[in-house]
Structure 1
Amino acid sequence: MALTNFILTVAGVSAVVLLLRSDVKQSATIFRRNIRQIRQWLEEESASTKAAEKMKPKELESQVPEKDVSKDKH
């Protein structure tokens, strides 16, 4: 009886270890994939920010005062 319980316990623990091991591997793979994607997004963002800084800023059209049309109408 004790031998049977020991064998069942070892089999159960082995099954759990195998399942967790494959789950950990799968989670690590997904984590690495997500890290690569986030790194790519950050590189694209920094590249677009650098490109925007290199461009000369245009004069804002809002600096030119516009006539108030509502005052002209009576």
Structure 2
Amino acid sequence: MALSNFILTVAGVSAVILLLRSDVKQSASIFRRNVRHIRQWLEEESSAASKAAEKVKPKELERSIPEKDVPKEKHKD
């Protein structure tokens, strides 16, 4: 009885290990494929952004905050 339980346990653990190994391999390949797609998208976006930046004419820098008169400090005598 103990021998059959041991054999069933070994068979069950082996089956789980085989299933997990194939699942891990499949997940890893899907992850690599996704990374390739994301890298390709980023390269396309960066090239599109650089082309768009080339088309834009440089403008003079404008001050976003106009200079205001700074109030003078009042001295107490």
The Cα of 1:47 is off from its aligned counterpart by: 0.3
Greater share of residues in helix: 1
The reply on whether 1:9 has 2:4 as its aligned counterpart is: no
The Cα of 1:6 is off from its aligned counterpart by: 0.4
For 2:61, the equivalent position in structure 1 comes to: none
Structure 2: tracts of 5 or more residues without a match? 58-77
The Cα of 1:56 is off from its aligned counterpart by: 3.5
When the two chains are superposed, the root-mean-square deviation of aligned CA atoms in Å is 0.8
TM-score when scaled to structure 2? Answer: 0.72
Identity %: 74
CA distance in 2, matches of 1:39, 1:28: 16
CA distance in 2, matches of 1:28, 1:12: 24
The Cα of 1:14 is off from its aligned counterpart by: 0.1
CA distance in 2, matches of 1:50, 1:19: 47
4+ residue segments displaced more than 6 Å: none
For 2:55, the equivalent position in structure 1 comes to: 55
CA distance in 2, matches of 1:53, 1:39: 21
TM-score when scaled to structure 1? Answer: 0.74
CA distance in 2, matches of 1:11, 1:3: 12
> Secondary structure, in 3 states, of the residue corresponding to 1:9?
helix
CA distance in 2, matches of 1:31, 1:53: 33
